[in-house]
């Protein structure tokens, strides 16, 4: 079944794209939730009329993501956690904690799902995490984990 996406759907595509999906996924999930429309000739014409608006919005999103990328790459965030004598943390630093720290320190809202860590952060030290901001725009953020006194 061909559908036109009305919103970004992870694993399927971005707003305005036409995608082939299974009939059940399209009829039972995407269309009822307002995430897609069936790709009929009338809907395709509507999409073409709205295409320039969607393209401009996507370009604006990429420009915003580039500006956020610059701010994130210049920053070094410090997160304080309880740790043992040997520098091992009690628990680990999660993407949610990193997103909250970014919001507090830089006033930038980042979805925790976009934060990628090579390995779990379980020791005191300096780390680099990848943040996928927008399609084709990735940032690397330096974080320092310190022991809480």
Domains recognised in the chain with CATH numbers: 2-66 (3.40.5.10), 68-147 (3.10.430.100)
> Rounded to an integer, what distance in angstroms lies between the CA atom of residue 120 and that of residue 134?
23
Q: What DSSP designation does 130 have?
A: E
Per-residue tens of pLDDT for the chain, all 149 residues: 999 998 888 899 988 888 999 999 999 999 999 999 999 998 888 888 877 787 888 888 889 999 999 999 999 999 999 999 898 999 899 999 999 999 999 999 999 999 999 888 999 999 999 999 887 889 999 999 999 87
Angle at 114 between CA 125 and CA 106, to 5 degrees: 65
Q: Which runs of consecutive H residues, i.e. helices, occur in the chain?
A: 23-25, 41-74, 95-106
Which residues, including other chains, have CB under 8 Å from residue 82's CB and lie 6 or more apart? Answer: 89, 90, 91, 147, 148
Paired residues of 129 in beta bridges: 141
């Amino acid at each position: 079944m061909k559908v036109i996406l009305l919103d970004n759907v992870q694993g399927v595509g971005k707003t305005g794209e036409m995608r082939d999906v299974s009939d059940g996924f399209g009829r039972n999930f995407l269309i009822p939730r307002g995430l897609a429309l069936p790709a009929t000739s009338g809907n395709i014409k509507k999409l073409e009329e709205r295409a320039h608006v969607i393209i401009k919005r996507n370009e604006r999103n990429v420009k915003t993501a580039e500006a956020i990328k610059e701010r994130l790459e210049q920053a070094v965030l410090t997160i304080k956690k309880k740790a043992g004598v040997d520098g091992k943390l009690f628990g680990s630093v999660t993407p949610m904690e990193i997103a909250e720290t970014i919001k507090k320190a830089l006033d930038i809202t980042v979805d925790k799902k976009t934060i990628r860590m090579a390995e779990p952060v379980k020791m005191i030290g300096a780390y680099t995490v990848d943040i996928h901001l927008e399609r084709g725009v990735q940032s690397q953020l330096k974080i320092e984990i310190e022991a809480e006194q």
